[in-house]
Amino acid sequence: MQYLDMEKIEHIGIAVNSVAQAGSVYEKLLGTKVYKTEEVVSEGVLTAFLQCGPNKIELLQALNDDSPIAKFLSKKGEGMHHIAFEVTDIRAEMARLKGEGFVLLNEEPKQGADNKLVCFVHPKGVNGVLVELCESKDYPIKAQTHSLNIDEQINLFQFRNKLIMPDDLISYFNLSNDEIDAYNLDMFTFYKFDEFKSVQEEVGDFGGVPDYRNIINVLPEHENCFVFAEYSIHLMVFAIRLYKGLSNHNEVYAICGSKYELVANNFTEFLQLYNDDINNVFVV
């Protein structure tokens, strides 16, 4: 017997009356934010995705009465709709499953949400469970970069890093360039989102003085700390720690060489200290 060449459960699909309402519920349940919403016009469905560790949840809302989700909701109400498995070659898996006697709901792969080719297996052959096969496609370069607005870029950052950005930092990054520039004093520079990099990415290759090379061995969980500002005259950078779930304490560090100091418990507190007296946020 040949076995399904699947890498993992790609996601669990849940049919809901409202993506907005259900998204709020699941954000509280999972301690993470919806990182993406997308309409699949061909299926008449609005989708929203949440990431929890290695697992993904897809919420599905009907956009019209002819949508398969509308029919599901009418018959069964809100609840689990399908389990999706990631496969490397969807056409080969479709052929294999047909040979095993499973009934496929589409003869050719269809374009699904999240840039996937998909096919559904009829639940009557899988103990009442609707199964989806998903083959990931590469996003075109334009979709990866230039066509994304700032909210989409932040959502993509959170998904790729499996970390959540606090609301106050998101609000800052949504400011216009002129508003961000208003924070910058002489020799002090706040970054825009496209400059937001991990401590290692930002200073790991710095070859001057002070010597930053040991900071990744000193700063706890340095890979979750991201630089958002710098003070050039002291060659000092300021980094904030992000977490996998929502947190009221996103520690802000001032870093100079291999030395660091906790200067605030969140971005808002950092801004208050910075605006009161810039010396409040420097390493002693």
- pLDDT tens digit string along 177-234? 899 999 998 899 999 998 999 998 888 777 777 888 888 888 988 999 999 999 988 7
Joined together, the tokens standing for residue 91 give: 């056409």
Q: Residue 35's pLDDT is what?
A: 82
pTM to 2 decimals? Answer: 0.57
Residue numbers of the chain with a pLDDT score lower than 50: 1-3, 141-146
Q: Which residues in 16-156 belong to E strands, given as ranges?
A: 34-40, 45-52, 55-62, 79-87, 110-111, 116-121, 131-136
pLDDT of 7 = 66
Helix (H) and strand (E) counts in the chain: 10, 14
* Residue 58 three-state SS: strand
The pLDDT of residue 206 is 78
* SS3 annotation, 136-192: ECCCCHHHHCCCCCHHHHHHHHHHHHCCECCHHHHHHHCCCHHHHHCCCCCCEEECC
Tokens of 24: 């709020």
Residue with tokens 């066509």: 147
Query: 137: which 2 tokens?
Result: 């496609």
Q: What is the largest CA-CA distance in the chain?
A: 72
pLDDT of residue 233: 81
Helix (H) or strand (E) holding 218, with range, is helix 215-218
Six-digit token pair at 144? 């990866």
pLDDT at 159: 80
Instruction: Report d(CA 146, CA 139) in Å as an integer.
Output: 12
Q: What pLDDT, on the 0 to 100 scale, is given for residue 144?
A: 47
| Per-domain boundaries in the chain | 6-137, 163-281
List strand residue ranges (DSSP E) for the chain, in order: 6-15, 34-40, 45-52, 55-62, 79-87, 110-111, 116-121, 131-136, 188-190, 197-198, 225-231, 236-241, 252-256, 259-264
Report how far residue 157's alpha carbon sits from residue 145's, in angstroms, rounded to the nearest whole number: 11
Q: Which CATH class is domain 6-137?
A: alpha beta
